[in-house]
Structure 1
Amino acid sequence: MGDKARLEKIKSAETNWKEKTLKPVLKRFPERKERFETSSGTEVKHVYTPLDIPEFDYIDQLGFPGEYPYTRGVQPTMYRGRFWTMRQYAGFGTAEESNKRYRYLLSQGQTGLSIAFDLPTQIGYDSDDPMAEGEVGKVGVAIDSLEDMEILFDEIPLDRVSTSMTINSTAAILLAMYIAVAEKQGVPPEKLKGTIQNDILKEYIARGTYIFPPNPSMRIITNIFEYCSKYLPEFNTISISGYHIREAGANAIQEVAFTLANGIAYVEAAIKAGLDPNIFGKRLSFFFNAHNNFFEEIAKFRSARRLWAKIMKERFGVTDSKALKLRFHTQTGGSTLTAQQPMNNIVRVAFQALAAVLGGTQSLHTNSFDEALGLPTEESVTIALRTQQIIAHETGVADVIDGLGGSYFIEHLTDEVEKKAFEYLKKIDELGGMVRAIEDGYVQKEILNAAYKTQLEIEKGEQIIVGVNKFTTEEDKPTKVLKVNPELEDKQKIRLKKLKERRNNNEVRQSLEQLKKAALNENENLMPYIVKAVKAYATIGEISNVLREVFGEYTEAVIL
């Protein structure tokens, strides 16, 4: 039977089913609501058939794992070879406190580190700066100098551990510190594996931990690309992050579109700087969110992988297969966690993590159930890690590659997410690219509108949040909430003061002067100068202030 005749037969059968089977039932038992849709507003029908993917081409749209367009995964064996990297994002207080947590997690079976830095570290202020008052060690670990980094990785062999660092404006400085620590351990740069987030564009869109204006920020990023291509060939030079875009209120389609638009901007900037996308493209990685709309999340990951492969091949002429592959880390949705009935978050996280695995993630962080209340306790972070281990070892989902591939619903959703994300990319191109779209406030407005729509639906009860707007109970306040000891801030300041007294301050001053001179020359790569300053024990604040003096600071435009 030909395809056309086959589809006509299915169409006739579907019409018959609607009239004779479905319609009588709907008369007696109306459905819960008039329209079902995904979190992005895509309508969800009763059932899906080949009619919903009538022109589906298996080879062009699906293919095989490890082959273009990578819809089914970037590796031929996926988790049959080895599981995804299990990371738990962690960091608080001083380097000593965080080091204890990292070593505990590694002892419990975690296979990679994911470092959270405190706010002063993220925006280039030392712990003794007045701007850092009250924030030292609160949302991550405080790192002022190479000395802190040495303590952070004490007894952690950097040649055997992959480290992800969530750092953006000061990514070059933290990477330089990581290189220096490894050198002290006897580990050469070419053996280092890990990722720096280094995605400044999403800071302007969604998160706000920027320092410099876009143009010098893009220069620093391309400097990192170039430096790592030569000296850190196994290190991912950027993690292009949709996670925070989603946390700011974007829907799944916007998460894909704006993340890949940022990726396009970085590739364009690197090519303009004379770099080869076939080389630096291999070290690009991505970072996505996993929310509760199970099937849409799976489709989101698959569509992002396929769309990025097309972008790199068709837009940038990339021919190296490794540079076509979208490799990504996933974190479960922080904004989906509730302070009410916090144990419900264990269930949410499990489903979100399962969606990420079925979507083909390369590494995964599972949130702890108490994160809406405070920093995770040792108990809660262990449960979060065990969630991944249960998925890996007990469910069987890792035994088959892309187990939902070929599902009429999944393939239809994958096509829909790709099509609608591509429409956003066309619009951004028309606006002059992602940097211009951000400066004009277009991206921010789109996210704000999506967040407003979601909030209205929750307030009206159209979207149910269990334990929040339905199935509520009277609750006692939880007793186990981890809080950072305020005395740790004083301890950090004392250590910093002692460091500044005993280091070679002439060497520090000279290294900072050389860095400033290099920053003034736009053709100079800043990384060697930052590495030299770090090794002299110049602090993150001192290095950032030199660059502030040259580049200035970014002031956010008011979006109305």
Structure 2
Amino acid sequence: MSDHREQNRADQQRWLETTFGKAVKKSPERRASFATTSGIPLRPVYGCGDVKPGLHERLGLPGEYPFTRGVQPTMYRGRFWTMRQYAGFGTAEESNKRYRYLLQSGQTGLSVAFDLPTQMGRDSDHPRARGEVGKVGVAIDSIRDMATLLDGIPLGTVSTSMTINATGGILLALYQAIGEKQGVAPDQLQGTIQNDILKEYAARGTYIYPPEPSLRLITDIFAYTAKVMPKWNPISISGYHIREAGSTAVQEVAFTLGDGIAYVEAAVKAGLDVDVFAGRLSFFFNAHNNLLEEVAKFRAARRLWAKIMKERFKAKDPRSMMLRFHTQTAGSMLTAQQPENNVARVTIQALAAVLGGTQSLHTNSRDEALGLPTEDAVRVALRTQQIVANESGVADVIDPLGGSWAIEALTDEIEGRAEEYLRKIDDLGGMVQAISKGYVQREIQEAAYAWQRQVEKKEQVVVGVNAFKSEDPPVPVMKVDPALEEQQVRRVKALRAERDNAAATRAVDALRQAARGTENLMPLVLAAVKAEATLGEVSDALRDVFGEYRETVVL
């Protein structure tokens, strides 16, 4: 192999100086240099000489360590990825209609978006909730709302993802309670809660409690689901929001895996066996426009995580080393100008996710830069996935770009650069310390600024924004009826008037007392929501004990 590599390098050098060199001298390239969004230089052509020795060992085979080529032996030849369209708005009734519509249209899993008050642990009638109820997701205040949200949806067969973090344990308890009402045992429920608080401190902002008690809640959920809900993924470690905040692909991999390391360390420190919980960890990545870099990113992340789990945490079970991930196409790449162009962008991004081996996928709707997606736009987004799955042919071969010299060189480069970031994070004392010191935030901010400058200088073309402009016809935009907020406020007030308030108070007080100790809090959260305590009341009980996090401003 080394002879082939040396010969390839020699052939490429000759080609650069002769055939290529003459062509460029006659007709210059479009740019002085080419690079990915992470700043990785791109050669004009790749060959075996551009890939590090030992490719066979780094590749492996599908379903086998180091899982570069996929975590399942059959990948999409067995079944397609889960098509999971993220949705939620207004009241539980309105969102339930959208979920039924999506399932009837061929969606294979639910993905629930919650409004900001729900994410921040505030009931809809709280003063800080005013104007935000039901705007960016569905409002869930109580077990009654959850029952309405999931009405007619068979929880024994449908897998549900819930994008919720600080209040993740409460929503998980509500889901379990409704499953039991449907006659579905907890050990049969399938799905994921995001439950990734570290990226909230670094990139998004929907946190409530300080890092230490937040990590306690997360490890409590790890232990609880391992025992009670073994088919449930207790966390979706999210690079998506890190990338949406402006990071590069390399930073997305590094900071996501850095968060993952912190969660595993916290769980091991709490006494959990890594092979008991690690097989249920899941990840959540962004799919951007640069198809080659994105495919390489997913493969690099999978290989690097496998190595971390095997070498750093001494995992023995191969399932503990598998990086299983959901992907969402890039909301930050959608444009309000010429929104129909977003269909093409989303198609490229979805293709990158599939070529990279995702386990589930959400495709953004063309109108999401303008508002919540309309039903027509959602249908086109889902159809995009179905066309990639059924008509493109890319799902018929496992890791179809594996062995491409360009893909393998980029995979190696992203992996190596992400490892450099992880070493820096270790030097700073781990991910919690890196975030506390502002290192992660600063890196993301600088990357976002660099990208914006490239767009402003037209070094990066964004079709319809800084090039190929045109006048756009009006686009129908979905708006949430303001009356839904008042309806939700009346509902939560009616709950407090109708329930057994003494039982709800006892359950919340028991949770508050337990939070001062060390026992697992999930059974007490479950008891509280079954007693019809509201999400805000449960959150406030924990606020009383844990306090609230105050962000350190990074300039």
SS in 2 for 1:229: helix
How far is 1:474 from its partner? 1.6
**SS in structure 2 at match of 1:87:** strand
Deviation at 1:319, TM superposition (A): 0.5
Q: Distance in 2 between matches of 1:41 and 1:272?
A: 37
Residue 344 (1) aligns with residue 341 (2): yes
Kindly state the Cα deviation for residue 11 of structure 1 after the two structures are TM-superposed: 2.7
Indicate if the aligned counterparts of 2:310 and 2:316 stay in contact, CA closer than 8 A: yes
Specify the alignment match of 1:447 in structure 2: 444
Query: By how many angstroms is 1:495 displaced?
Result: 1.1
Q: Which residue of 2 aligns with 1:230?
A: 227
Which residue does 1:464 correspond to in 2? 461
What residue is the counterpart of 2:513 in the other structure? 517
Alpha-carbon displacement from aligned partner over 1:371-430 (angstroms, at most 9, x marks no partner):
000000000000000000000000000000000000000000000000000000000000
CA distance in structure 2 between the partners assigned to 1:6 and 1:494 by the alignment: 74
1:381 aligns with one of 378, 381, 386: 378
Q: CA deviation at 1:16?
A: 2.3
Distance 1:504 1:333 in 2: 45
Residue 13 of structure 1 deviates from its aligned partner by 2.0
* Alignment counterpart, residue 417 of structure 2, candidates 415, 420, 440: 420
The equivalent of 1:57 in structure 2 is 55
The residue number in structure 2 matching 1:547 is: 542
Letter in 2 for 1:518: A
Equivalent of 1:31 in 29, 46, 49? 29
Q: CA deviation at 1:4?
A: 3.5
Residue 364 of structure 2 corresponds to which residue in structure 1? 367
In structure 1, stretches of 5+ residues that fail to align are: none
> What's 2:523 paired with?
528
Q: 1:19 & 1:42 partners in 2: Cα distance?
A: 23
1:120 aligns with 2:117: yes
Show the counterpart of 1:97.
94
Residues 5-24 of structure 1 aligned to structure 2 (within 5 Å): 5-24=3-22
**Superposition RMSD in Å:** 0.7
Secondary structure at 2:336 match in 1: coil
Q: Deviations 1:460-498 (Å, cap 9, x if unpaired)?
A: 0000000000000122331x1110000000111111111
Output aligned runs, 1:148-159, within 5 Å. 148-159=145-156
What are the residue-to-residue correspondences of 1:70-219 with 2, within 5 Å? Answer: 70-219=67-216
Residue number in structure 1 paired with 2:318: 321
Return the match for 2:492 from 493, 496, 500.
496
Aligned to 2:403: 406
Give the aligned residue type for 1:555: R
- Cα distance in structure 2, aligned partners of 1:161 and 1:245: 28
Counterpart residue identity of residue 164, structure 2 = I
How far apart, CA to CA, are the structure 2 residues paired with 1:275 and 1:199?
Answer: 18
Opposite residue 544 of structure 2, the aligned amino acid is E
Number of residue pairs the alignment of both structures matches: 555
User: Is 1:482–2:454 an aligned residue pair?
Assistant: no
What per-residue deviation string (whole Å, max 9, x for no partner) do you get for residues 46-91 of structure 1? 0001110141330x20010000000000000000000000000000
Q: Unpaired segments of 5 or more residues in structure 2?
A: none
Structure-to-structure mapping, 1:225-264, within 5 angstroms? 225-264=222-261
SS of 1:115's equivalent in the other structure is: strand
How far apart are the structure 1 equivalents of 2:527 and 2:6?
70
Distance 1:42 1:20 in 2: 25
TM-score by length of 2: 0.99
Return the offset for 1:17.
Answer: 1.5
CA distance in 2, matches of 1:320, 1:484: 47
SS at match of 1:311: helix
2: CA distance between counterparts of 1:477 and 1:554? 42
**Cα drift, residue 7 of structure 1:** 2.8
Q: Secondary structure at the match of 1:481?
A: coil
Q: Which amino acid aligns with 2:398?
A: I
Is 1:300 matched with 2:305? no
What is the rounded CA distance, in whole Å, between the counterparts of 1:342 and 1:181 in structure 2? 39
Q: How far apart, in 2, do the equivalents of 1:526 and 1:161 lie? A: 27
Report the Cα distance in structure 1 between the residues aligned to 2:403 and 2:13, rounded to whole angstroms: 23
Distance 2:295 2:389 in 1: 17
Other structure's SS at 1:88 match: strand
* CA distance, structure 1, for counterparts of residue 17 and residue 128 of structure 2: 68
2:283 is paired with a residue of what secondary structure? strand
- Give the Cα separation in 2 of the matches to 1:475 and 1:366: 23
Output the TM-score relative to the length of structure 1: 0.98
Match of 1:86, SS? strand
| % identical aligned pairs | 65
Displacement of 1:5 in angstroms is: 3.0
1:14: how far off? 1.9
Paired AA for residue 524 in structure 1: E
CA displacement at 1:455 relative to structure 2: 0.4
State the Cα distance separating 1:23 from its structure 2 match.
Answer: 1.1
AA at the equivalent of 1:542: E
Deviation by residue 1:486-531 (Cα, 9 ceiling, x = unmatched): 000011111111111110000001001100110000x211100000
The whole-number CA distance in structure 1 between the counterparts of 2:219 and 2:17 is: 60
Listed one character per residue, the Cα deviations across residues 517-546 of structure 1 (whole Å, up to 9, x for unaligned) are 10000x211100000000011000000011
Aligned to 2:18, the other structure's residue is in SS state helix
* Letter of the structure 2 residue corresponding to residue 143 of structure 1: I
Contact 2:371–2:477 (8 Å) recurs in 1: yes
Distance in 1 of aligned mates of 2:12 and 2:428 = 43
